[in-house]
Amino acid sequence: MPEKNVRLEVMQQLEPKVDGFIDEFLIPVEKIWQPTDFLPNSQQETFYDEVTEIRELAKELPYDFWVVLVGDTITEEALPTYESWLMDVEGINQHDGGTAWSRWVRYWTGEENRHGDVLNKYLYLSGRVNMIEVERTTQHLINDGFDIGTDRDPYKNFVYTSFQELATYISHNRVAKLARQHGNKSLAKMCKIISGDEMRHYNAYSTFVKEIFSIDPSQMMIAFKDMMKHKIVMPAMFLRESGDSIGAAFDEFSNAAQRIGVYTGQDYIDIMKKLIVRWDIEKITGLTDEAEKARDFVMSLPARMERINQRIKISEKITHFKWVNPAMVK
C-alpha cells in the first residue's frame, strides 16, 4: 500500500481518540484565562493608573529583551499561517462537516490566539516599541508564509509541532524569569501562563507521535529521522522588517535570544534529547532495516550537534531594529 494511504489510515484509526485528547490537553473557553485577565480593565477607574504602572516598569527592561519579546509576539500573531498549514495535513479534513482532527486544530488555534493577543496589547500599552513597525512585520510574516519541510505528512508535522511547542515553552518561560528579575511581575505572570499553555500543547502533540509509533513504528521513525536530519526551522524563519527582504531579520533576532539566554543552540539539542526519551526511541521494536538505520542516526545526532555547538560564537553586537527605538529603552 502506498505510504500516503498508510498515513491516512493511521490518522483515521486514531481519530476516535481525538475528542479525548481535546478533553485531556485543552481547557474549555469558560475555564481558561483570557488576555484581559492580565491587562488593565478599561471599564475601571483605575485603568489609567494601571497603564502608568506598566509604562514605568517597562523602562527597566533592556534592549535585547524588547527585541525578543517583540519577535515572540510577532511569531505568535502569525497564527493564521500555522492553522492553515495544519488544516492541509493529510487526515485533517475540515470539509463536509470536518473531523475530530480538524476540531482539534480549531480548538488548539483558539488557545494559541490568546498568546499574540495579550502580548500585542502589552506592547501597545508599554510605550516602549514602534507598533506600526511591529504590525508591518507581522503582516509581512503572514504574507510570506513558511515552509517547515513537512509537506502534508502528519508524521512529520506532529514531530515538528512537538518540537516547536517545547521550544516556545522554553522561550516564554525564560522571558518570564527575566521579566521577574527586572521587577516586572505582571509581565512575568503573563509570559509564565503562556508557557504553561505551550507545555500542554507539547504534551498533546508528543502524545500523537507516541500513538503513531505504537501503530506504524518504522515509518514514524523514518519521519523523525528526516525531520532531525533537515533540522527544525523556526516559525519566524521569514522574519523581516519593513523594506527588507524575506528572512532578513531572523538571524539577528535569534542572536538577541541567545545573548540573553531565552533560546539557544543548546536548547535545540536538549529538546532533541527530550523527544528521544519521550518516545522511547531506544526501546522501540519491530523496525525495518531502514528504520533501524534511522534510529541509529537519531540516537547519535545530539552528541554530534553538541560538538558543533561548542564551536559556534554568538555576536555580542546589539543590532537595532525598527521595532524598538534605542532611545526609549535602557
What CATH number did the domain enclosing 57 receive? 1.10.620.20
User: Known catalytic residue: 201?
Assistant: yes
User: Known catalytic residue: 33?
Assistant: yes
User: Known catalytic residue: 165?
Assistant: yes
Task: Report the amino acid identity of residue 142.
Answer: I
pLDDT above 80 (res 264): yes
Predicted local distance difference test score (pLDDT) of residue 98 = 84
Q: Residues 73, 150, 168, 264: which is the catalytic one?
A: 168
Residues 6+ apart with CB under 8 A from 16: 100
Q: Residues 72, 198, 252, 267: which is the catalytic one?
A: 198
- How far is residue 29's CA from residue 247's CA, in Å, rounded to a whole number? 35
* Total domains in the fold of the chain: 1
- Domain ranges, residue 233: 3-328
The owner of cell 480548538 is 107
The owner of cell 488557545 is 111
Question: For the segment 11-27, what is each residue's pLDDT rounded down to a tens digit?
Answer: 999 999 999 999 999 99
- How far is residue 279's CA from residue 300's CA, in Å, rounded to a whole number? 16
User: Known catalytic residue: 168?
Assistant: yes
Question: For the segment 284-304, what is each residue's pLDDT rounded down to a tens digit?
Answer: 999 999 999 999 999 999 999
Residues 6+ apart with CB under 8 A from 327: none
User: Known catalytic residue: 111?
Assistant: no
146 in helix, strand or coil?
Answer: coil
Per the CB < 8 A criterion, the answer to whether 323 and 134 are in contact is yes
Predicted local distance difference test score (pLDDT) of residue 2 = 60
Query: Is the pTM here over 0.85, yes or no?
Result: yes
Predicted local distance difference test score (pLDDT) of residue 169 = 98
Backbone angles phi, psi at 132, to 5 degrees: -65, -35
Q: How confident is the model at residue 317 (pLDDT cuts 50, 70, 90)?
A: confident
What is the overall mean pLDDT for the chain? 95
Relative orientation angle of helices 185-215 and 154-181, to the nearest 10 degrees: 160
User: Known catalytic residue: 161?
Assistant: no
User: Known catalytic residue: 198?
Assistant: yes
**Where does the chain have alpha helices with state H?**
3-25, 47-58, 63-77, 79-87, 100-126, 131-144, 154-181, 185-215, 217-230, 250-259, 265-278, 289-309
Handedness of CA 143, 149, 154, 156 (dihedral sign): negative
Q: Residues 72, 90, 165, 216: which is the catalytic one?
A: 165
pLDDT above 80 (res 329): no
Question: For the segment 86-144, what is each residue's pLDDT rounded down to a tens digit?
Answer: 999 999 989 988 899 999 999 999 999 999 999 999 999 999 999 999 999 999 999 99
User: Known catalytic residue: 150?
Assistant: no
Q: Residues 64, 77, 90, 112: which is the catalytic one?
A: 112
User: Known catalytic residue: 76?
Assistant: yes
